[in-house]
Amino acid sequence: MVCNLIQISTTKTDHMKSALELETLKIRLNDADLQRLDLHQRIQRALRALILDGTLGPGVKLPATRALAKSLGVARDTVENAYVQLQRDGFVIRRKGSGSYVPETMGTELRGIERRRLRLREPNHKVTEPGAGLSRRGRMILESGGVFDQKVSRAFATGLPETRTFPTDVWERLQRQALKDFRGQVLLHGDPQGAEPLREEIAAYLNLERGAKVSAEQILVLSSTRQALFLCAQLLVDAGKPIMLENPGYFGAKKAFESAEAKVVPIDVDGQGIRTDLLRADRSGANCVYVTPSHQYPTGATLSLERRLDLINWAAETGKWILEDDYDSEFHYDGPPTACVQGLDKYQRTLYVGTFGKTLYPGLRMGYMALPHQLVSAFTCARSILDGHTPQILQLTLARFMDDGHYSSHVRAMRKLYASRREVMLKAIDRYLGGIVTPLRPAGGMQIPCFLKQGWSEAKTIRQAADVGVQFAGLSRLYLGPEKQFGWLLGYASLTDHEIETAMQRLASAITK
């Protein structure tokens, strides 16, 4: 006879019920979600589930621990421990000399739970509606969508550096050294502004390599460029007020500004970068402009020196701010890069934004700002509210990576590699897609803008490419006004020469069949 899980009975019906319930218990014990638990915990969880779903109803007597242990083939102490926990949690009442029972009050509790479940299953219940309970800003963010980065290297995804050659052995060694030297300090909260050794290295690098004029006290270490732009939108622009952005421009910047309820005002770019004559003609009342002067996103244009100086003078004359995203400045292939705007700005109207996600690896999640002195305290306070600080161990490791010369060495190696891959990419485009797109040869960067020729659909070609495992961004979504140009933005930095060639063949075959 199989021991009854509820009450010992001699009727045929009760025997069948007992066997059924014991089998149900065994099935619950084998649930995949319980396998990581100790055996007594699995028994306790399984019995709790049977009580909650009503299989073991109010007032039902559970079998003695010895009988259940024998039926399950486990030690009696194992079942005893499960019963003790059930008693502590209120699922079982144990009466000395009588046994263990499901509380009578459990029926009332379960009926209340079931009523709540039924209410939640009503078809028009607000909880099931996307965005229910959100603020106006929350609904706006949900409806406009987020910015989702590429998680794997795939032709021709943009913004991905070559990570297969990153010196992980050096990085791991330096991280172990930092952990050993700083010990428990790296396990505690860090300075919201950033670890001082890293801020010193960033300042030294910017002054030497980018022609900046900045001290460690002006550096704010952040998680990303988008975090920097979000802080700018929060601290420099009131909700509903305008902010100027290059047109076409960086999609992530547009999302960061819009999520802070700023109104984006497009300013057109040409072959020399943002048109400063349009900045001077603007009457929107915007007090900030976002620019990518070293390598305009997505056209690849470099802001001319004449316009850089005009931009600086405009900001000084009008009391406005320049948000300089020095995007891809490290990867300039046709001659030396132009000095950054921040280094030319003697009026301190420029907020400089940089990232290590492109020069090292995206998973590092580390960027920085070089701020005018009068803004450092406000931005540091805002950052402390947003997410506190960047992990200290990563900051201290990167500081050593830079101090030992590994950072500059890695950037030089990647600059040479990407320049070679740019040529391979341009030749492949000409060979396979010459009748479909017209590429713009960028002076640097990690992607090539390609404009579709007459008769080709951006949306259709993107779908056709996806069918053969090729992914890239369309250009039209980067334009802010009604006038748009259609085409693609093809990334190449993370791909070998062979991968570029074979992916280009697949792409051409897919859209010309």
Q: Where are the beta strands (DSSP E) in 43-191?
A: 61-62, 93-95, 99-101
More confident residue, 226 or 423: 423
Average pLDDT rounded to a whole number, residues 60-71: 88
Q: Which pLDDT score is estimated for 283? A: 94
Q: Look up tokens 């979600």; give the residue.
A: 33
Q: Which pLDDT score is estimated for 2? A: 36
More confident residue, 454 or 338: 454
Average pLDDT rounded to a whole number, residues 267-296: 94
What's the chain's length in residues? 513
Across 107-111, 120-124, 131-135, 250-254, the highest mean pLDDT is recorded for 250-254
User: Virtual CA dihedral for 334, 335, 340, 343, nearest 10 degrees?
Assistant: 180
Sign of torsion over alpha carbons 233, 302, 432, 483: positive
- Spell out the residues 6+ positions from residue 258 whose beta carbon is closer than 8 angstroms to its own: 140, 144, 264
Give φ, ψ of 428 to 5 degrees. Answer: -65, -40
Average pLDDT rounded to a whole number, residues 62-67: 88
Respond yes or no on whether the N-terminal peptide bond of residue 130 is cis (omega within 30° of 0): no
Average pLDDT rounded to a whole number, residues 424-451: 93
Across 19-28, 209-218, 224-233, 474-483, the highest mean pLDDT is recorded for 209-218
User: 320 is written with which tokens?
Assistant: 């406005």
Q: Is the pTM of this model over 0.95?
A: no
**303 to each of 275, 395, 446, 491, how far by Cα in Å?**
9, 32, 18, 22
Average pLDDT rounded to a whole number, residues 455-479: 92
Task: Classify residue 316 as exposed, middle or buried by CB count within 10 Å of its CB (0-12, 13-18, 19+).
Answer: middle
User: Virtual CA dihedral for 312, 316, 322, 324, nearest 10 degrees?
Assistant: 40
In the predicted structure, residue 347 carries a pLDDT above the cut 80: yes
Q: Which pLDDT score is estimated for 37? A: 84
Q: How many CB atoms are located within 10 Å of the residue 409 CB? A: 13
Q: Which pLDDT score is estimated for 8? A: 37
**353 to each of 77, 231, 327, 396, how far by Cα in Å?**
63, 11, 8, 20
Task: Classify residue 83 as exposed, middle or buried by CB count within 10 Å of its CB (0-12, 13-18, 19+).
Answer: buried
**220 to each of 160, 203, 237, how far by Cα in Å?**
24, 10, 19
- Spell out the residues 6+ positions from residue 180 whose beta carbon is closer than 8 angstroms to its own: none
Q: Which pLDDT score is estimated for 265? A: 95
Sign of torsion over alpha carbons 357, 360, 362, 364: negative
Per-residue pLDDT band for 407 (boundaries 50, 70, 90) equals very high
H helices of 361-457, where? Answer: 376-386, 392-403, 406-433
Amino acid at residue number 486: F
Average pLDDT rounded to a whole number, residues 71-75: 88
Q: Which residues of 210-247 are buried (b: 16+ CB within 10 A; e: fewer)?
A: bebbbebebbbbbbbbbbbbbbbbbebbeeebbbbbbb
User: 403 is written with which tokens?
Assistant: 């101090």
Across 23-32, 67-76, 376-385, the highest mean pLDDT is recorded for 376-385
| Percentage above 70 pLDDT, the chain | 88
In the predicted structure, residue 478 carries a pLDDT above the cut 60: yes
* Average model confidence (pLDDT) across the chain: 87
In the predicted structure, residue 120 carries a pLDDT above the cut 80: no
Q: How far is residue 170's CA from residue 410's CA, in Å, rounded to a whole number? A: 11
More confident residue, 334 or 215: 215
User: 157 is written with which tokens?
Assistant: 């995804």
Q: Which helix (H) or strand (E) holds 82?
A: helix 76-88
Q: Which helix (H) or strand (E) holds 273?
A: strand 273-274
Across 69-73, 235-239, 421-425, the highest mean pLDDT is recorded for 421-425
Q: How far is residue 50's CA from residue 63's CA, in Å, rounded to a whole number? A: 14
Q: How far is residue 380's CA from residue 398's CA, in Å, rounded to a whole number? A: 20
Per-residue pLDDT band for 456 (boundaries 50, 70, 90) equals very high
Per-residue pLDDT band for 148 (boundaries 50, 70, 90) equals low
User: Virtual CA dihedral for 125, 128, 133, 136, nearest 10 degrees?
Assistant: -120
Q: Which pLDDT score is estimated for 11? A: 43
